[in-house]
Amino acid sequence: MSAQKKVAFYTLGCKLNFSETSTIARSFQNEGFKRVEFDEVADIYVINTCSVTDNADKRFKTIVKSALKQNEKAFLIAIGCYAQLKPEELAAVDGVDMVLGATEKFKVTDYLNDLTKNDMGEVHSCEIEEADFYVGSYSIGDRTRAFLKVQDGCDYKCTYCTIPLARGISRSDTLNNILHNAKEISEKGIKEIVLTGVNIGDYGKGEFGNKKHEHTFFELVQALDKVKGIHRLRISSIEPNLLKNEIIEFVAESNSFVPHFHIPLQSGSDELLKLMKRRYLKETYTNRVEAIKKAMPNACIGVDVIVGFPGETDELFLETYNYLNELDISYLHVFTYSERPNTEAIEMEGVVPQKVRTKRSKMLRGLSVKKRRAFYESQLGNELTVLFESENKEGYIHGFTENYVKVKTPWNPELINTLHTIQLTKIDKDGLVRFDWVKVPTVN
């Protein structure tokens, strides 16, 4: 009998990619493959790619090299957003044997009849218009929390973004299937679920493979809140125009949804928001933040922002900087604008020099550090609940409170994936928060 074949996975990019990698990995395990770590010898290496930043493109080649170092005869498969957008480019990378596009990646095991190395990567990718069906997925086994995919694709036409080209139209999982997956996750003893998708506030669209809506995102939130055994539900990222008051009010009173929102802003200038074709102006964003803080004074609010978009003058950048500085938010995810083929923005005037982009990015990252520190300071003395992670980080175990304060305490493996009430006491040198146990955990 031949030895069991081994498969290893590497994921670039977002939480959605992590949830899809896990689902694809389970399909390999169902076919009798053994999953191993990426730095171990495997027969097949699957790399789930991302196209959001320049860096992800460059990292792909490095990851391919590291896989071939483990086993030069291994069969290498590229999947994900970059594989959909530039399949030929990835297929031409030395050592890549197969590239699967947006619809093919979930059927990857169907393509594995022959694992002989190819001189040139074989491409199976559809026209993105064909990516109109939905594959539900969630990740577990990798972390103490699970990423549950509820929606895929996007109908928005932001001028800097290739995601609609890489993932197709907005479409959703059925409510029943999401609830089934959530129950499955809770039965595995996982305490926290993060809802993920490309544009999750758009949930409901395409639930039946067409534009017909049966459910809304609000109804999904209400239904998930009733699932037994889930201690925490977190909304990963939601557009400000889709974050309705009813959702904010529901989360504030909810059994399991935590007071943490991540809301993309992209620019604090109305002029640039219009150029980006975002579906709101600054006033809407301010209203969302105020509504959250009114309903949940201790809520954590994260913000996505892009620097260096074409037409961003010094004045417009400072408008964004000052706006964010005044706003009651907790941290920033800063993206440096990078030109993407087949987007409107690539044709725009007012290109910002790379050096200026880097400087602006540094300024906003500095502001993020200041904001996070101020938010952590505002939480000192509060009693909160922590969920501990699974890694030993230099003799400490880390965890997150419901409102996303990162805490640490000396390593104790028995705390992994457990929830405890704590009182935050001080901020450590590394910026993480120390605490007192409100009730000392009983450790055997």
User: Rounded to an integer, what distance in angstroms lies between the CA atom of residue 416 and that of residue 52?
Assistant: 33
> How does pLDDT run across 237-289, given as a tens digit for each residue?
999 999 999 999 999 999 899 999 999 999 999 999 999 999 999 999 999 99
- Local confidence pLDDT in tens for the 444 residues of the chain: 357 899 999 999 888 888 899 989 989 998 899 999 999 999 999 999 987 766 666 789 999 999 999 999 999 999 998 888 888 889 889 999 999 988 788 888 887 766 666 666 777 766 666 666 667 788 765 468 898 999 999 999 999 998 888 888 898 999 999 999 999 999 988 999 999 999 999 998 865 655 566 799 999 999 999 999 999 999 989 999 999 999 999 999 998 999 999 999 999 999 999 999 999 999 999 999 999 999 999 999 999 999 999 999 999 999 999 999 999 999 999 999 999 889 999 999 999 999 999 999 999 999 999 999 999 999 999 999 999 999 899 999 999 999 999 999 999 999 999 999 999 999 999 999 999 999 877 654
Angle between helix 314-326 and 354-379 (nearest 10)? 10
The full DSSP string for 242-296 is T--HHHHHHHHH-SSB-SEEEEEEE-S-HHHHHHHT-SS-HHHHHHHHHHHHHH-
3-state secondary structure 47-67: EEECCCCHHHHHHHHHHHHHH
> How does pLDDT run across 292-350, given as a tens digit for each residue?
999 999 999 999 999 999 999 999 999 999 999 999 999 999 999 999 889 999 999 99
Give the predicted TM-score (pTM) of the model: 0.82
Contact 407, 434 (CB under 8 A): yes
Number of Cβ atoms within 10 Å of the Cβ of 177? 14
Please list, in sequence order, all residues whose beta carbon lies within 8 angstroms of the beta carbon of residue 235, skipping any fewer than 6 positions away: 195, 200, 221, 251, 257, 260, 261, 262
Please list, in sequence order, all residues whose beta carbon lies within 8 angstroms of the beta carbon of residue 214, skipping any fewer than 6 positions away: 175, 204, 207, 208
